[in-house]
Structure formats: C-alpha cells, structure tokens
Amino acid sequence: MNNENIVKIENLIKRYDQAGVIALDGINLEIKKGEFVSIMGPSGSGKSTLLNMIGALDQADEGSILVSGQNLMEKKDFSSFRSKEIGFIFQLHNLIPNLTASENVQIPMLQTDASDEEMVKRASELLTSVNLGNRKDQVPTKLSGGERQRIAIARALVNHPSIILADEPTGALDSKMGDIILELLRVIHEKENVTLILVTHEEYVAEKADRIISMMDGKITS
C-alpha cells in the first residue's frame, strides 16, 4: 500500500429536493490506494448514495470528489471511467438471467477492445478463481444465491478495476454463505492490489475491513 489517495471527497452534499431529503450532508473522506474500508451505518444514513457518487453512478450538488484522479463534479459522460476504474457488486447480483455465467462475466469487457477469445478466456479464469470453473455455461437461475454473487464478483473484476464498490454484498445471503463471500473479497483485495469499499449496516461485516467509516443522517460520524 502506498500513500496516494484514490478517493478524495470534500464537503460533498447531495439533496433529493422533491423528497426534501439531504442524503449527504457535508462529507469529507480520503481513501488510500489499496485500502480495504467499510462504510457502516443504519438504513437511510446515506451509504448507498455515497458509494454511487464514488462510482459516478450519480452526481452530487455541491463539494468536490476526485476518484482515480478524475473530477466527478464535471458534467460529462463517465461510462468509460466506470468501465475502466470501477467494479460494482450489489446486494442483488443484477445478473442477466438468460445469459450464462461466462457471458455475464464478459459484459463489462464488451466496452473494451478485447477479442471474443480474450473475453472467453478471462471469464473462464475468473470463474475458476471464484470456484465456479465447472459452472461457467450455466444460467444464473440454475445456481444458488452464493454462486450468483460469486459470478457478480468475477464480473466486477473482469476489467482489472482499481476500485471495487460492494453495496451490502452479503445482504441477501445466509450468514454461512455471507462469510464465504466476505472471505473471497478479502482474498481478492490481498491478491489483486485493488481498493475495496464495502457498504454494510452490520458491524460484524464492517469489521472485516482495515478501517470502518461510520455514517449517520448523511454525515460521517467516525
């Protein structure tokens, strides 16, 4: 780990005007390259909103946010930033049901200039690394919740992102399967030298990280 900030956020504010909600109320946060941090807080505290800002899925109203050297307050199209820099893992895996595990993993590579052969090979390697090498031609509906989440993890890694954003990745799993997924994320963090930001409302999940950031009512409390 070096000392370079991969995320630097200052006084970030996000309002949902119509709902009269201030989802992020002056966030200041620095995350170092290669860190494993968790963002913990009760439901509605602003965790997902903050994660979506870091992943350029949504834009803030005020403040500044730099991610991998990019100023995300600029008004522009961030799709190439997202596909190169960010791997997303959600609570519900968001896999496409009629595509195979391998095809689902390849989706983010469609935006790169990789050949079909390279995509198939990369998907196969990643599915093997999450212990699904023998399931790569199966569709998600034939697989368990834990297996689907492992496909989602492989998909998040496919373009060698510098940051993985995981929003309640174990929230839909039983605790045993959840532990397997958390252990897998920890191993990936160690092996791939990737920055891992994990959102959770559960303390025992948050504790897997090297640093816990606590949120309440749109603010960071510790």
Ligand X SMILES: Nc1ncnc2c1ncn2[C@@H]1O[C@H](COP(=O)(O)OP(=O)(O)O)[C@@H](O)[C@H]1O
> Can you give the binding site for ligand X, defined by CB under 6 A?
16, 19, 21, 23, 41, 43-49
Euclidean distance between CA atoms 196 and 164, whole angstroms = 5
Euclidean distance between CA atoms 131 and 126, whole angstroms = 9
Examine residue 48 and tell whether it contacts Mg ion (CB under 5 A): yes
CB 38, min distance to ligand X, A: 13
Q: C-alpha angle 55/58/61, rounded to 5°?
A: 120
CB 167, min distance to Mg ion, A: 6
Q: Which does 65 bind (CB under 5 to 8 A by kind): Mg ion, ligand X, none?
A: none
CA 211 to chain centroid, in Å, comes to: 16
Nearer to Mg ion, 38 or 48 (CB): 48
CB 181, min distance to ligand X, A: 19
Q: Which does 23 bind (CB under 5 to 8 A by kind): ligand X, Mg ion, none?
A: ligand X
**77 burial via Cβ count (<10 Å: 0-12, 13-18, 19+):** exposed
Q: Which does 102 bind (CB under 5 to 8 A by kind): Mg ion, ligand X, none?
A: none
